[in-house]
Structure 1
């Protein structure tokens, strides 16, 4: 365990004692949010990002250690574990390198090389590679068998014996960990990731044409961006594309490749015209073409996919975090409109607490076109319930429905309207929880209610939906679903606990995301609330069936009670530290109500004065910060984006138009912006700022309201190119952007790089001998 702690400490650049304390807390059942917020003293202030990274690496390194021990046992049972091999296995830093070392000893089906060894041909192979001056044919005579083996093995000719030599040597070299790792890293650096249209596919077919950018594509594999890698892999899975790994310089027909030259370099051999050199050259070629080329391609494709998936999952997680922490409209009466054409616009009104109070369906669009009737119905509902905020789903007929809401606003001054994402609303509407919340309401009307609640409190509403259904991912169906679910679950947990949860109004899905609370305990909390009324204090949580002291410790600090018996229960101060607050009250000579929110008074307190053996100065400082702004919400203030009138469809867009929109999704290569025309526009990373931008998230995040200019519109392909460079460019201080591979993101072919490093020169020198 000590080496794991040392490794993690080095990776996240913290002290070993910090890591050891965090591991002990996590192993003891503590959650990341709890440790990050209430155990800073123990961990030396590790934040939630560091703890999440620590948690992931802890799992990986423990799995690595388990595999290491299993491999050592296996090799030891074979009687082949030498001190040198043990040291190499114990020092292997990754699962891949561990498997490379294990490959020669891994139980497998009988290979041609193994059959040749069993036939006693290995001494000949050793003799020829040690002294290429020997004549292979002459030496092989002594190894020719008079009869075939019992299993049909045929070494009755010189040619068959020499084939056995080839099989033994190529297998031996292909299982050389140093050679395999060297070739793998060289090709990761220099190899080309290529794709082309699969044979027999019609490039004009709609399902094929979407991959047009990759019909003739190549790029250095180590520099392929996540989105392009996943696009190619998806195309291959659909049998639209064919992908392969190519050498940086393809060999001429009949000539040795650079890869064969690198194998020769590793072996310290070159063709010098000796009797055995032709045979060894064939063995080298066989090693690459038959043994290593496909396995190396497979390994590097797996590595590319793994790294691309990591990026894609991180993009999804970052966007989800931004969406969950978007500005809430707060406790306002909201009307939700779920747009539709023939089926009508579904209407739901929710009160300030999110309770559904009224529903309707209006038909302002085709075929009824009852515009005035729809306005009358909406106006009546607004006056009846005091609505001054309308949430409009961004699906079909969104812009037409937004225009309807705009006309309503002319009749009702002060009315605000916001177009919100309705991704996942249908999933929620048909869910078991939605049927429990609104049992007698039509499924379509539940969607309108969900849209309204998303505006009130995005976090509280979106936690009811599987994060994968929220629609802010990049190739989310092409990545490891287990890893995606783990990461998104962690994001939701962190966001919920960062904001805090109202114990007396929170739903079961929201409560189940609170630190320490499982789904069953969350249901028990709601049942207690329904049976006994609102919680008056956090201590009453201990009366809930199934909620013990450990769960209370993990969850209590993140649960809020407004208007309860103890004002501290509405803050992020943990009940375990209430005695520290009591010391402060005694020192100030004031009740807690007069202390909370009094920043000027609280700033006079010295944390060291109130620290003790259990709670140090760091914890006391956090308490003071919380008392300065009790129950603070870390989310930004609510703002509304305004769409341009007359711009309702992609056909209404013109180059040069300046518009306002909402960032709907962010990827490393750019940001997608909802302009209200049913098709998001793309601001490429190079168009986000006059300054150099490496990652789009440096400039924007999901939910931001931005001003953009239309650069290009392609209605046929439904592509909108935007820029955020609206003003005069600032003086450039950074170097020019490397645009070599940005073109591929815009549908242009990325150039290849045939440059060869110094190590390649040596390979070519060996090739001169190979080509004789």
Structure 2
């Protein structure tokens, strides 16, 4: 699409700059900057030559023009290209960071028994049954796509797992054989009358995790594909806890991420992961070392020591017990402890985001309202806290207004997970094919990626559909990020289906005849 293409530099979108660069690097494009040299020649003459004509002036003019042609023009072009690239890289990194944050903060599907499925044709679909905490209950493999003779066997195996463990949700990876596996699962659910639901999970980076040192340490006896099935299931149960195990560059929500400065990208994405982890907080008794290392004040070594201590001494019963962890010094403890939760601890305040430094103030507040620490989370205490006069109470307890407001919010909703307020993943029992799509058809979909020119939406067929920036809203949209985010559940209408090119054009603007 960029052969024989030109546009004004100031109107060039950042993603097109990166596309030009990639095409040039792969030697399929030649990119150059075209300018009106006559104006530049006139400018150089005015600055360097006297307003008269003689032999010397002519020689200097030739020298000036030659200097411009051979040195200045090329240097300026390099500067312009460099500036365009730097701006485009920063923009691409910003988009990647925003998408990654939304992906990490997708709501977890709590309290469900999950069957994770890593689809494949020849090697079979790997299965992993997970309990609500993510513990692996059983591993298996079925071959529904290698011949009709294996389909009954595959159906029998999956039906047995659904019944034995009371599986409520089936998580199917969106890689090779995903849609064929989805059809198999949908048919099975109809035939057996099972109440289980299924959903398609973005498995980008699952193979990277499965072959990583973290995965080998976590599941030393499993094959790579079996680890992928576990990861796919856990991504549904707790996206943040699972995705932190993967290099952020491999999670599939970027735009030209391989064409930007890898150091700048890595620094930006690490910052995003750290802020997401600390905003949500971690359960110190269930968090992996991979998750703990992103807590402010901790590093990989200390995170590993926390896990080892937990394995050797049992679950932590209080935040103060963390002081016994090797290499967790006083400063690191002070910085990190507010982000680590102990849900079943001796002190009910340990399950909140309240820092131990503020425990005394929190206890005084609760006592003043006529309650005890054991009342934390009860409706009566919540009602009293909601009616409390922050200004007066702050003066009486000699606590800053902002600090007191934070304490009250944490006491009203102890252990609150900000992700719970977001829309849950779409669960289905039936499947549609690309051939079933017709212009004007209304569908629900999940936003998988947001880029400068629009958003890619998973509507349950093999190919994600593109909602062009012009179809995101009835009003003008400058940045798609202002309208949609990764993980959003959106209503879309089919604009156009191109089966030959395997493309689906969608719109978030309802057609005039839509009800």
Band of TM-score, shorter chain: over 0.9
Structure 2 unaligned runs (5+)?
none
Label 1:288 to 1:614 Cα distance change in 2 as closer, same or farther (>3 A).
farther
> 1:302 aligned to 2:87?
no
Q: Counterparts in 2 of 1:197-276, with a 5 A limit?
A: 213-247=1-35, 249=36, 251=37, 257-265=38-46, 267=47, 271-273=51-53, 276=56
Answer yes or no: is the 8 Å Cα contact 1:512–1:518 preserved in 2.
yes
Is 1:639 matched with 2:427?
Answer: no
Q: How well do the aligned residues superpose, as a CA RMSD in angstroms?
A: 2.3
> CA 1:426 to 1:572, structure 2 compared with 1: closer, same or farther past 3 Å?
same
Q: CA deviation at 1:387?
A: 0.8
Correspondences of 1:91-240 after superposition (within 5 Å) = 213-240=1-28
1:320 aligned partner: 100
- Does the aligned pair in 2 maintain the 1:230–1:305 contact within 8 Å? yes
Q: Give the distance between the partners of 1:355 and 1:629, measured in 2 at CA.
A: 27
Task: Please point out which of 362, 378, 381 is paired with 2:158.
Answer: 378
Question: Which is higher, the Rg of structure 1 or of structure 2?
Answer: 1
Return the offset for 1:616: 2.4
Gap change, CA 1:608 and 1:347, over 3 Å in 2: same
* 1:558 partnered with 2:346: no
Map residues 746-761 of structure 1 onto 2, 5 A cutoff.
none
Does the C-alpha gap of structure 1 residues 511 and 614 become closer, same or farther in structure 2, counting only changes over 3 Å?
farther
TM-fit CA distance, 1:392: 0.5
Q: How far is the alpha carbon of 1:498 from its aligned partner?
A: 0.8
Equivalent residue for 2:450, pick from 649, 655, 666: 666
1:363 to 112, 118, 143: 143
SS at match of 1:691: coil
Matched, 1:425 2:213: no
Deviates more, 1:577-586 or 1:403-412: 403-412
* SS of aligned partner of 1:414: coil
Moved more, 401-410 or 271-280: 271-280
Q: CA deviation at 1:692?
A: 1.1
Quote the Cα distance in structure 2 between the aligned partners of 1:643 and 1:685.
Answer: 28
How big is the shift at 1:544?
A: 0.3
Residues 368-447 of structure 1: matches in 2 within 5 Å? 368-410=148-190, 411-447=192-228
Q: State the 1:220 CA deviation.
A: 1.6
Q: Which residue of structure 1 aligns with residue 259 of structure 2?
A: 478
Report whether the alignment pairs 1:582 with 2:363: yes
Q: Is it true that 1:292 corresponds to 2:76 in the alignment?
A: no
SS at match of 1:246: coil
- Number of equivalenced pairs: 509
Structure 2 contact 18–256 (Cα < 8 Å) conserved? yes
Separation in 1, partners of 2:448, 2:281: 25
The residue aligned with 1:34 is: none
1-structure distance, mates of 2:93, 2:147: 43
What is the CA–CA distance in structure 1 between the aligned matches of 2:337 and 2:9, rounded to whole Å? 49
1:491 deviates by: 0.6
Q: How far 1:368 moved relative to its partner?
A: 4.5
Checking the alignment, whether the CA contact within 8 Å between 2:352 and 2:411 is kept in structure 1 is: yes
The DSSP-based 3-state class of the residue aligned with 1:713 is strand
Q: Which residue of 2 aligns with 1:617?
A: 401
Aligned counterpart, 1:45: none
- 1:629 pairs, out of 413, 422, 426, with 413
Separation (CA, whole Å) in 2 of partners of 1:304 and 1:624: 49
Q: SS of 1:347's equivalent?
A: strand
Counterpart residue number, 1:348: 128
Q: Indicate the residue corresponding to 1:50 in structure 2.
A: none
| Structure 1 Cα separation of the partners of residues 377 and 259 of structure 2 | 50
- Which residue of 519, 523, 530 corresponds with 2:311? 530
* TM-score where L is the length of structure 2: 0.93
Distance 1:299 1:422 in 2: 40
1:82-139, Cα deviation, whole Å (9 max, x unpaired): xxxxxxxxxxxxxxxxxxxxxxxxxxxxxxxxxxxxxxxxxxxxxxxxxxxxxxxxxx
Matched, 1:677 2:465: no
- The Cα of 1:407 is off from its aligned counterpart by 2.6
Q: Measure, in 2, the Cα distance between the counterparts of 1:599 and 1:271.
A: 86
- Listed as ranges, the gaps of 5+ residues in structure 1 are 1-212, 252-256, 731-772
How far apart are residue 226 of structure 1 and its match? 1.5
The CA distance in 2 between the partners of 1:622 and 1:503, in whole Å, is 21
Residue 419 of structure 1 and its aligned partner are, at CA, apart by: 0.3
